[in-house]
């Protein structure tokens, strides 16, 4: 199979490229080498893939998926597109909103427009995210499954962390969120990931394409970016430990997440690309073994071995959510995918694994 991987120089994309090459697929990569994430071409570029990179590599051609020129001829001979290119993370504040919209929304729209113009009709595997759900699955003893209201700063300032029932204000119990849960993006990044899913879905009838949207939960592993506000919490804790500082945990540390190793995420992409009949719809990609952020920080600090006990510092990010953990059964049923790396093992190993060099400031 000839596969085009957008964002293939990045953290997750590069692992997908390696997995595709290992399985003897023909791989072409487009990556802009966004300076917010890269300080140049990464050292892990697979020599058996064809690379088209951004200006940091010295190339004159555009490799930015949001630029129309990037797509000129890019789909010729391509059987499937693995669309990983995106601006990720919560960012700094709303001044980041245009960059998220350009990279994620416009980049996907340019891709779909190029598919339409060229008559391309292969399969798309889209990197989506658990952030589209907003808060996870909650139940009220009296009102059943409910969607809690957005978290309020007055509650958070008073250390009232747990969402409550929007009807009776009782404390809720948490569960695993399935793919048919209503989406409720609660920050700019989340909104753009939902937009990507909707754009691909809206285009499917005209293009004759099928999109499998893989909703990644909290991905970690080697090649994560370091020392950037766009990195995930695993990278932030890893960087703090590397700098001889104890992990700093927001709120009370009780936030629950599902941490999935990047090798498992790559395997899920391979399974979606190689499925004889492509699956149309969204699938959670998760380990199935939730952790609290404090337990995660303790696991990593214990492996570090220098007695850097995590510090619960309170505080919060208003666009963040309290709990979101996945029901992983549908991906198991549809793709035969089941995560192989247990978070306790993977997070301990991650303490010793290399991170991506910090981008230039």
Place of tokens 């709990």: 323
Q: Which residues lie closer than 8 Å to 132 by C-beta, 6 or more apart?
A: 183, 184, 185, 190, 193, 194, 197, 215
Identify which of 321, 231, 349, 332 has the alpha carbon closest to the alpha carbon of residue 285.
332
Identify which of 239, 265, 135 has the alpha carbon closest to the alpha carbon of residue 187.
135
SS3 content of the chain, % helix, strand, coil (to 5): 35, 20, 45
Q: What is the pLDDT along the chain (361 residues), one digit of tens a residue?
A: 999 999 999 999 999 999 999 999 999 999 999 887 788 889 999 999 999 998 766 665 789 999 999 999 999 999 999 999 999 887 778 889 999 999 999 999 999 999 999 999 999 999 999 999 999 999 999 999 999 888 889 999 999 999 999 999 998 999 999 999 999 998 999 999 999 999 999 999 899 999 999 999 999 999 988 766 667 899 899 989 999 999 999 999 999 999 999 999 999 999 999 999 999 999 999 999 999 999 999 999 999 999 999 999 999 988 789 999 999 999 999 999 999 999 999 999 999 987 776 655 5
Report if pTM > 0.85: yes
**Residue 51 DSSP symbol:** E
C-beta of residue 356 within 8 angstroms of C-beta of residue 223 = yes
| pLDDT score, position 207 | 94
Q: How far is CA 74 from CA 12, 183, 212, 325, in A?
A: 21, 32, 21, 37
Is residue 41 packed enough to be buried (19+ CB in 10 Å), middle (13-18) or exposed (0-12)? Answer: middle
Q: Which residues lie closer than 8 Å to 284 by C-beta, 6 or more apart?
A: 130, 177, 178, 179, 215, 217, 326, 327, 328, 330, 331
| pLDDT score, position 37 | 78
| pLDDT score, position 317 | 85
Task: State the catalytic residue, choosing from 133, 138, 189, 230.
Answer: 189
* Pairwise CA distance, residues 112 & 310, whole Å: 45
Domains, the chain, ranges and CATH? 2-134+177-226+259-286+326-340 (3.40.50.720), 137-148+158-176 (no CATH)
> Helix, strand or coil for residue 241?
helix
Q: CA 244, 238, 230: angle at the middle one, nearest 5?
A: 120
In this structure, the strands spanning 311-314 and 248-250 are parallel
As a three-state string, the secondary structure of 270-325 is: HHHHHCCCCCCEEEEECCCCCEEHHHHHHHHHHHHCCCCCCEEEECCCCCCCCEEC
Is residue 316 among the annotated active site residues?
A: no
| pLDDT score, position 348 | 95
Q: Which residues lie closer than 8 Å to 198 by C-beta, 6 or more apart?
A: none
Rg of the chain over all Cα atoms, to the nearest angstrom? 20
> Helix, strand or coil for residue 4?
strand
End-to-end CA distance of the chain: 39
* Pairwise CA distance, residues 91 & 64, whole Å: 20
C-beta of residue 41 within 8 angstroms of C-beta of residue 33 = yes
């Amino acid at each position: 199979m000839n596969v085009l991987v957008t964002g293939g120089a990045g953290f997750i994309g590069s692992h997908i490229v390696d997995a595709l090459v290992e399985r003897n697929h023909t791989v072409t990569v487009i990556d802009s080498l966004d300076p917010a994430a890269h300080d140049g071409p990464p050292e892990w570029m697979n020599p058996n893939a064809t690379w088209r990179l951004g200006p940091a590599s010295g190339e004159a051609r555009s490799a930015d998926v949001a630029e129309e020129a990037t797509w000129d001829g890019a789909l010729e001979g391509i059987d499937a597109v693995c669309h990983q290119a995106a601006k990720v993370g919560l960012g700094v504040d709303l001044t980041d909103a245009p960059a998220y919209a350009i990279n994620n929304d416009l980049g996907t729209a340019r891709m779909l427009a190029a598919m339409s113009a060229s008559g391309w009709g292969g399969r798309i595997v889209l990197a989506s995210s658990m952030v589209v759900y907003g808060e996870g699955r909650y139940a009220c003893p009296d009102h059943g499954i409910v969607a809690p209201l957005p978290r309020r700063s007055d509650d958070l300032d008073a250390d009232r962390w747990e969402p409550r029932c929007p009807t009776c204000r009782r404390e809720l119990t948490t569960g695993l969120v399935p793919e048919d849960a209503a989406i409720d993006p609660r920050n700019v990044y989340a909104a753009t990931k939902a937009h990507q899913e909707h754009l691909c879905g809206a285009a499917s009838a005209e293009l004759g394409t099928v999109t499998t949207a893989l909703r990644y939960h909290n991905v970690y592993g080697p090649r994560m970016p370091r020392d950037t506000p766009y990195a995930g919490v695993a990278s932030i804790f890893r960087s703090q430990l590397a700098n001889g500082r104890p992990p700093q945990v927001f709120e009370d540390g009780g936030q629950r997440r599902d941490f999935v190793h990047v090798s498992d995420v790559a395997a899920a992409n391979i399974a979606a690309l190689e499925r004889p009949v492509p699956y149309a719809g969204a699938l959670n990609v998760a380990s199935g073994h939730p952790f609290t952020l404090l337990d995660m920080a303790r696991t990593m600090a214990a492996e570090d071995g220098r007695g850097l006990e995590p510090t619960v510092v309170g505080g919060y990010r208003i666009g963040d959510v309290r709990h979101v953990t996945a029901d992983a059964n549908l991906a198991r049923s549809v793709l035969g995918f089941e995560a192989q790396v247990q978070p306790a093992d993977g997070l301990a190993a991650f303490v010793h694994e290399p991170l991506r060099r910090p981008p230039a400031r």
